[in-house]
Amino acid sequence: MPNSSSIDSAVRSEADATPGGAPAVKRSAGLGAVRRALAHPSYRSYTAGNSVSLIGTWIQRIGVGWLTWQLTGSPTWLGLIAFADLAPAVVVGPLGGVLADRVDRLALIRLMQTCSMLQALALFALTALDAISIGLLLVLVLINGIVIGVNQPARLALVTALVPRADIAAAVAINSVTFNLARFIGPAVAGVLIVWVDISAAFAANALSFIAFLIVLARLRLAPEAPRAAAPRGLAGLVGDAVAGMRYVLGHPGVATLLGLMLALALAVRPFIELLPGFAAEVFAGGAETLATLSATVGIGAVVAGAWLAQRGDPRGLTRITFAATALAAVAVLGFAASDRLWLALACVAVAGFALVAAGVCTQTLIQLSVDGAVRGRVLSLYGLIFRGGPALGALAMGAASELAGLRLPLAAGALAMLALAVHAWRRRLGASAALEADAAPAD
């Protein structure tokens, strides 16, 4: 990895405007990094509203899964509903990236959040009136999947308008912590609502969470962005912009390597989470409590990773951490696949959760810092596509292979393949680090 002086010499001014106008990243570590990021009023308000919305999202996910089971009692329908939620990102994600680079990102987010709120209200009304069917549920979940696919690139790209460059690393990590904390809180609240009220209450709670977030979004005041070049109109223009974004990624020695690693991780390692129910029942001879323990342990590792990166603050060295985290995730999942004792499996999934989030947060931070502002939305749309679509495809392949070869072998094979790729990529870390961290040096 280049030393500090070689990185300092490569520092250049940011092409697009950022809050505070800081051209270089100042070093900030410890809890001071977290406090500094949260000291920006716009980011603090956004984080509070986003946290409420994320809890509502997880409440609804649990409600949708339980409603699907009530309506059909079919694992196949559970898979179809999950696919309808995740698959649209593969199709509309690149379009969302183009829109994020063309239009007012905050206005786009407000519109998409309003659409998601209306979807939650429709679910609430149909369920409360006992008019819901599995066909209607599939359509509504598909619609929301499309909305999320369009919305996600703009939400990811918005962070550069909420905090100065010096605080991007901490801000991205804080976002990860809030997401993973919502994974704990949301299902717990959903369980209470479903048991003590009604399943429709879960959808009502999600709709209310959008109202809180929309109020925050309406009050946000962002620093002005640099003028954007006029873009060609029509479908051909949208496709051309999407292709240009892909060319930019393929031509960037650092971003191309990072996204390639993330894709491999999503396909070969990340699907262990979808296979946890099978491991809980067949390998560890447990029930719902064993599954809950495994899932919660993954979440604990994820929260620890986000908190560590948030307090770390300094973006230098994130490339090395990313490469190491991909290898660590592969080793941890390989250990999990070989485990026949629950305590050892719990240790492995905690490490895997830590490594997966560390790799993801570092990747997103490096993209935010290193890519040209004119294509940031499109590049982040590819990150979001991998984040949502990769695990769905990987789980589908792992599940099919597990029907033939059992649970352990496909997971172990995927982890071994990922480990080999991570070792190969480690040899290229110096070139990738130079390309990704040129603008990450601390300002004097």
Residue 116 lies in a domain: yes
pLDDT for residue 14: 34
Token duo for residue 99: 């829109």
Q: Domain holding 266: CATH number?
A: 1.20.1250.20
Residue 128 lies in a domain: yes
Domain count, the chain: 1
Mean pLDDT of 49-76: 84
Mean pLDDT of 353-372: 86
Residue 143 lies in a domain: yes
Residue 228 lies in a domain: no
Residue 20 lies in a domain: no
Residue 63 lies in a domain: yes
The 3-class secondary structure across 226-285, one letter per residue, is: CCCCCCCCHHHHHHHHHHHHHHHHHHCHHHHHHHHHHHHHHHHCHHHCCCHHHHHHHHCC
Residue 266 and residue 111: Cα distance in Å, rounded?
Answer: 29
Q: Using one digit for the tens of pLDDT, what is the confidence trace for 211-249?
A: 989 999 998 877 655 545 555 555 555 666 667 767 777
Share of the chain above pLDDT 70, in %: 83
Cβ-contact 165, 22 below 8 angstroms: yes
Mean pLDDT of 121-145: 94
Residue 59 and residue 41: Cα distance in Å, rounded?
Answer: 27
Share of the chain above pLDDT 90, in %: 24
pTM of the model: 0.74
Which carries the bigger pLDDT value, residue 123 or residue 195? 123
pLDDT for residue 231: 54
Domain that holds residue 347: 4-14+31-221+241-436
Residue 235 lies in a domain: no
Mean pLDDT of 36-53: 88
Q: Which residue has the tokens 């390989």?
A: 334
- Shortest CA distance to 138 belongs to which of 204, 202, 67, 207? 67
Residue 229 lies in a domain: no
Q: Which residue has the tokens 């010096």?
A: 166
